[in-house]
């Protein structure tokens, strides 16, 4: 009998392996390789180390997931979180609309609607505050965390955008997210649409009675004593404070016993450089002035777009009033001295900020 021919395991004909051994080899893990001897069995290839005593987990041994896998996990987590955030926003918006329709929202005796102000009005003004004027706030800690306070600021800019920016600055930067209740002129409450928006945003008529009631309730009240003389002054008089009235705001602060916080605003003077005043047109329209700027009325509605100046709002050291006697509010000399002190502090801070400013727009 002829000797049998021994065919080594690894020398299986190529055609046979291709026909029947491709997938089987993968299942068995042999890969068609021979061991040290032609007939020695080939051990199965293990897909991973078997857990045994003394074997450290992958994290402890320093092995981490591939960067691609870790990045994919993070992307999925971000998408889930973003989706949940949008769900919360949509649910909050629908709840807000439901309360608007059913009338289940609160409005105080002055017409202030806090929910509408926070969710709609502030959100509409905030892009102008953050992206366009890029307002920088300093000294916000000088506004008390609780209790009444009277913020006294300079007024400028041809249109009263400085009041709106001041309102956003107090709410967004103060740790207690306090709301500023601005005192506005009569003209604001005579305009059809502006009247309603001003009331909803917490503005009220600039009278001593309303201001004192708000302060005694513990509100932060804002006043701009220059009035139309400040906001409508020519560009040549920029950052020169006008007369601060007769000191009525000081008398109100003394009666309420709240501190006076001087506030200086730089950047508003240049948004509409007022180079002229059409007084005849102003009288016909019932306005205190009718501004003429390099762009208005020459460019029509485009002339109403403000210049993108860089703003700085600084709150100064508060001036206490609770140490004065009750009859101090009737002392004209004391009111004059305190009014002059507040005005000088604001003017000095304006000059200081102007010296520090690198450019009108940066």
Output the pLDDT for position 76. Answer: 62
Integer angstrom CA distances of residue 225 from 76, 186, 247: 55, 14, 8
Write out 283-345 in H/E/C secondary structure.
HHHCCCCCEECCCCCCCHHHHHCCCCCCCEEEECCCECCCCCCHHHHHCHHHHHHHHHHHHHH
Q: What's the farthest any 2 CA atoms get from each other in the chain?
A: 138
Cβ contacts of residue 118 below 8 Å, gap of 6+? 171
Round to whole Å and give the CA distance between 247 and 229: 15
Category of 94 on φ-ψ map: left (φ > 0), alpha (ψ -120 to 50) or beta: alpha
Cα distance between residue 216 and residue 280, in whole Å? 43
- Looking at residue 77, its pLDDT comes to 60
- In DSSP terms, 260 is beta-bridged to 150, 319
**Ramachandran assignment for 300, one of left (phi > 0), alpha (psi -120 to 50 degrees), beta (any other):** left
- The token pair at 186 is 């009569």
Strands 149-153, 291-292: pairing kind? unpaired
Residue 264 pLDDT greater than 70, yes or no: yes
* pLDDT score, position 64: 52
Alpha-carbon distance 311 to 348, whole Å? Answer: 17
Mean pLDDT of 310-335: 93
Catalogue all structural domains in the chain, each as residue range(s) with its CATH number. Answer: 114-271+306-356 (3.40.1130.10)
Per DSSP, the three-state class of 90 is helix
What are the DSSP calls for 194-263, one per residue? HHHHHHHTT-EES-HHHHHHHHHTT-EEEE-TTTHHHHT--GGGTT-----TTSHHHHHHHHHT--EEEE
Tokens at 273, concatenated: 């450089």
Q: What is the pTM of this model?
A: 0.76
Angle at which helix 208-216 crosses helix 248-256, to 10 degrees, equals: 30
What is the mean predicted confidence (pLDDT) over 27-47?
A: 42
Helix (H, G, I), strand (E, B) or coil at 265: strand
CA-wise closest residue to 186 among 178, 198, 177:
198
pLDDT digits (tens, 9 = 90+) for 82-113: 667 888 878 878 888 888 888 888 899 999 99
From residue 288, alpha-carbon distances to 108, 186, 207, 230 in Å are: 31, 11, 19, 12
Q: Are 156 and 268 in contact (CB under 8 A)?
A: yes
The answer on pLDDT for 354 being more than 70 is yes
Q: Is 76 within 8 Å of 84 (Cβ atoms)?
A: no
Chain-centroid distance, C-alpha 288: 33
Provide the pLDDT for residue 65.
Answer: 52
HSE-up of 49 (CA within 13 Å, CB side)? Answer: 8
Q: Smallest Cα–Cα separation from 201: which of 182, 214, 217?
A: 182
Cβ(111)–Cβ(199) below 8 Å: yes
Top-confidence residue, 36 or 303: 303
Cβ atoms of 155 and 177 within 8 Å: the answer is no
Radius of gyration of the chain (CA): 37
Task: From 20, 3, 23, select the one nearest 12 (Cα to Cα).
Answer: 20
Comparing C-alpha atoms, which of 230, 255, 232 is closest to residue 244? 230
User: What's the confidence (pLDDT) of residue 82?
Assistant: 63
Task: Tell me if 150 sits within 8 A of 223, measured CB to CB.
Answer: yes
pLDDT tens column, 5-25: 444 444 444 444 444 444 333
What is the overall mean pLDDT for the chain?
83
pLDDT at 270 over 70: yes
Per-residue pLDDT tens over the stretch 111-126: 999 999 999 999 999 9
């Amino acid at each position: 009998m002829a000797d049998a021919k021994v065919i080594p395991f690894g020398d299986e004909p190529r055609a046979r392996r291709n026909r029947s051994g491709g997938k089987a080899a993968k299942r068995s893990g042999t890969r068609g390789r021979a061991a040290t001897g032609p007939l020695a069995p080939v051990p199965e290839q293990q897909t991973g180390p078997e857990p045994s005593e003394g074997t450290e987990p992958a994290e402890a041994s320093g092995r981490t997931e591939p960067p691609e896998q870790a990045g994919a996990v993070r992307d999925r987590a971000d998408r889930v979180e973003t989706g949940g955030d949008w769900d919360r926003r949509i649910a909050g918006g629908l709840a807000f609309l439901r309360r608007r329709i059913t009338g289940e929202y609160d409005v105080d005796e002055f017409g202030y609607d806090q929910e509408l102000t926070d969710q709609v009005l502030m959100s509409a003004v905030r892009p102008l505050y953050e992206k366009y004027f890029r307002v920088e706030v300093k000294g916000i800690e000088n506004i008390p965390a609780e209790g009444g306070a009277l913020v006294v600021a300079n007024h400028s800019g041809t249109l009263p955008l400085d009041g709106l920016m001041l309102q956003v600055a107090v709410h967004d930067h103060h740790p207690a997210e306090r709301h500023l209740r601005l005192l506005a002129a009569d003209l604001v409450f005579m305009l059809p649409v502006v009247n309603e928006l001003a009331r909803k945003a917490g503005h009220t008529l600039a009278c001593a009675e309303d201001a004192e009631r708000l302060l005694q309730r513990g509100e932060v009240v804002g006043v701009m004593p220059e009035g139309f003389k400040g906001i409508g002054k020519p560009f040549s008089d920029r950052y020169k404070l006008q007369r601060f009235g007769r000191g009525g705001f000081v008398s109100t602060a003394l009666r309420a016993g709240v501190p006076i916080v001087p506030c200086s605003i730089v950047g508003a003077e240049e948004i509409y450089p007022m180079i002229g005043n059409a007084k005849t047109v102003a009288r016909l329209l019932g306005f205190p002035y009718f501004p003429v700027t390099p762009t208005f009325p020459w460019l029509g509605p485009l002339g109403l777009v403000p210049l993108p100046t860089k703003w700085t709002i600084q709150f100064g050291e508060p001036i206490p009033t609770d140490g004065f006697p009750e009859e101090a509010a009737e002392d004209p000399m004391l009111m004059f001295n305190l009014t002059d002190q507040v005005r000088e502090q604001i003017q000095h801070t304006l000059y200081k900020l102007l010296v520090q400013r690198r450019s009108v727009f940066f």
